[in-house]
Amino acid sequence: MCGGGFPTLIAIISMFFVGAAAGAWQSVSSTLLLTGVIVLGVVMTFLVSRLLSKTILKGIPSSFTLELPPYRKPQIGKVIVRSIFDRTLFVLGRAVAVAAPAGLIIWLMANVQMGGVSLLAHCAGFLDPFAHLIGMDGVILLAFILGFPANEIVVPIMIMAYMSAGSIMEFSSLVQLKELLVQNGWTWLTAVCTMLFCLMHWPCSTTCMTIKKETQSLRWTLVSFAVPTLFGIVICFIVATTARLLGLA
């Protein structure tokens, strides 16, 4: 899971699952739940890897060779410079190249209206029937789609769509945010499915670009995009359907 999804997971856990706890117990509960979610992600990674090795990757030889270079005394200045230019600026450049156009698209969708309703709301309404099957709503699913450039903007897009505002709003506390979400139909099941989908959905744009560069293959980039998305949809559908059949939601 991309690190950009952690703010979303932490916010949902704090609002819907440990909000009633007080003091130190709230922090402990939040930490344990977040750790459990991360462990679930690791377990799913191993299960999916094993499944792929038995299906589409079956018969493809795999080898891993690690050659340790001769030890040299580290040069702090050189390490810092190479880290900045080879990693930090490289990743930031990619993020800006994708996030800037995406930000413009989101702004246009939130401010351009058809029949008195924003394009953002129209798209959310179109996605709503499918999103309901996997325990979410159209706004949540649309936020994940528009959040492809950076997972950090998923929650702000939800807020923008729910409030029908043309700009990102800021809340002073998670209590206010929870009230907004509950008013728009969020339940514990919505929170759980949103967390599961956040954990297992497609990688962000920067990750996809890195996969394309490393593999030199559009095919494997698409596979890397599709596999976690498919499993995320299936897991959310199973959880949502089971909860509804048992009368828990």
| Ranges of the chain whose pLDDT falls below 50 | none
Instruction: Identify residue 86 by its one-letter amino acid code.
Output: D
List, for residues 157-184, the tens digit of each pLDDT value: 888 888 876 555 566 677 888 888 999 9
List, for residues 39-58, the tens digit of each pLDDT value: 888 888 888 888 877 877 77
CA gap 204, 182 in Å, rounded? 28
Between the alpha carbon of residue 179 and those of residues 56, 151, 174, the distances in Å are: 45, 22, 9
> Can you give the pLDDT at residue 135?
94
List, for residues 130-143, the tens digit of each pLDDT value: 999 999 999 999 99
For residue 201, give the DSSP letter.
S
Q: Where are the alpha helices (DSSP H) in the chain?
A: 6-16, 24-54, 76-83, 89-111, 119-133, 138-146, 154-162, 174-183, 188-200, 205-215, 218-245
- Cβ distance 180 to 186 under 8 Å? no
Is this model's pTM higher than 0.75 or not?
yes
